[in-house]
Structure 1
Amino acid sequence: MSAHPIRIGVAGWGIPKLSASAFPMDGSHLERTARVLPMTEVNSSFYRPHKPETWARWAASTPPGFRFAVKIPKAITHDGRLAGAEAPLDRFLDEAGRLGDRLGPLLVQLPPSLGFDPAVAGAFFAALRERFDGDVVCEPRHAGWFGAEATALMVEHRVARVAADPAPVAGAEEPGGWEGLRYWRLHGSPVMYRSAYESAVLDALAERLRAEARDRPVWCVFDNTADFHAVDDALAMLRRVGAAL
């Protein structure tokens, strides 16, 4: 039995017809999802802001143990490339903060073209930490983020590096950075966003998640949503790990 929670979930909360029988029939998609899975990842916040009352409604639609991981807007990560982020961070955190105790990690996904600049990255993480004391995970997709200097900066600011599949660069398949949290994002392999995961892959990962959870909380998000495999894979993983909230 793990000493820390293992949270299994999906990107978003649409329930495909093939998996609908695993969920209660009444309620919104979010309400139905939250009765079965312990978390979900909000990706829509990457593309557009949501009204504070929307975040509050989402929180009220879920049971006390449920958690949302929330993706930081691309206006900060991709358009602004982490520079001058103070004002947009204030707006985003004011909105997402309405999740209250349902708020889990913030996800900082970086564009593949964004290399590691210690001055820019350091200023961004410092600004984020001045405003937010909860968990933060980062999914870099440029090789420059996997060296010792970048790792040390993430450790300093308590930022866990995501383990991604497929790995965009060497090293990205393994979690890193701050060791107080482990976070997997599974996009589907071999065809990104479309492939389901084979049973043997899920078996091996479940064993890894249980081992990691002896020392720290573990999150595992299935993002292979294009052909509706994410929910089925999440349910299969949940059965394997016996995840507890």
Structure 2
Amino acid sequence: MSHLPIYIGCAGWSVGREQAAAFPVEGTHLQRYGSQLNCVEINSSFYRPHRHQTYARWAESVPQAFRFCVKIPKRITHELRLVNCEQPLDEFLGQCCGLGGRLGGLLVQLPPSLVFDDAIAESFFRALKAQYSGAVILEPRHESWVDAASLLMEYRITQAAVDPSRISTDSSPVGAPEVQYWRLHGSPRIYYSAYDQPYLKNLANQLRLAAAEGVTVWCIFDNTASGAAMRNALELSTCHLPLNIRDTP
């Protein structure tokens, strides 16, 4: 039985036909998903708002140890580009706080065209941290964000490790050391390709070592287009890194 703070899941909780046999027959997709995996990344929040009551219902559908990471809306990251976004940020946080203690983090995925600006980034991080004290994960996709390292440390922001890599500093987690967050999109074909067993074994070793040092570790598979994400998440969590998900801290 593992008590390491390791969370393994997918970007979304749809249970496809290919992996259905690994899950209970009864229950909603989320209830079935939550019986086998211990976290999920909510990406739908990027495109549209969800009511506070909807988040609360989702929280009630999963085991106590289960955690959600919620993606910040594109209105904030892609349209306002982190500028003058206090009101939509307040609205978003008011919604997703319906998850209560099962809210494990927020994901800030930036557009590839967004160049790092120290003043804009600091203003945004300050506003966000003033309202939310939990884990914040940043996925920048413009090379200029390599200059944000000191700011990430100051505001306790974790930069995600991403595959395929988008910038020169995202092949491994950087920023606030207390959290590691891996976003695996599939490679060589992004969103489609499955990861092979040697890759998963090596990944499991990295996650285990980080957790043994007291780091809270997340691993999210986003290679969802062909159903590979669910297969890889199950392989990692059952074969390479067995977890008792109800006992995960």
Instruction: Return the TM-score normalized by structure 2.
Output: 0.95
Q: Give the whole-Å Cα distance in 2 for the aligned partners of 1:133 and 1:220.
A: 21
Structure 1: which 4+ aligned runs deviate by more than 4 Å?
none
Q: 2:39 matched to which residue of 1?
A: 39
Alpha-carbon contact 2:8-2:220 (below 8 Å) kept: yes
Q: Give the whole-Å Cα distance in 2 for the aligned partners of 1:173 and 1:112.
A: 16
Q: 1:226 matched to which residue of 2?
A: 225
Would you say 1:59 and 2:59 are equivalent positions?
yes
Would you say 1:187 and 2:165 are equivalent positions?
no
Q: 1:130 matched to which residue of 2?
A: 130
* Aligned CA-pair RMSD: 1.2
CA displacement at 1:161 relative to structure 2: 0.3
CA displacement at 1:2 relative to structure 2: 7.2
Q: Give the whole-Å Cα distance in 2 for the aligned partners of 1:180 and 1:243.
A: 20
Letter aligned with residue 46 of structure 1 = F
Instruction: Return the TM-score normalized by structure 1.
Output: 0.97
Alpha-carbon contact 1:69-1:104 (below 8 Å) kept: yes
Identity of aligned residues (%): 49
Which 5+ residue runs of structure 1 have no aligned equivalent?
Answer: none
SS of the aligned residue for 2:62 comes to coil
Q: Give the whole-Å Cα distance in 2 for the aligned partners of 1:13 and 1:78.
A: 24
**CA deviation map 1:71-110 (0-9, x unaligned):** 0001001111001111011000000000001101100000
SS of the aligned residue for 1:205 comes to helix
CA displacement at 1:169 relative to structure 2: 2.0
CA displacement at 1:144 relative to structure 2: 1.0
Q: How does 1:1-245 map to 2 (within 5 A)?
A: 4-147=4-147, 150-215=148-213, 216-239=215-238, 240-244=240-244, 245=248
Alpha-carbon contact 1:41-1:71 (below 8 Å) kept: yes
Q: Give the whole-Å Cα distance in 2 for the aligned partners of 1:125 and 1:42.
A: 21
Q: Give the whole-Å Cα distance in 2 for the aligned partners of 1:205 and 1:63.
A: 25
> Aligned pairs, how many?
243
SS of the aligned residue for 1:213 comes to helix
Q: Give the whole-Å Cα distance in 1 for the aligned partners of 2:139 and 2:31.
A: 28
Q: Give the whole-Å Cα distance in 2 for the aligned partners of 1:92 and 1:197.
A: 33
Alpha-carbon contact 1:5-1:243 (below 8 Å) kept: no
CA displacement at 1:3 relative to structure 2: 6.8
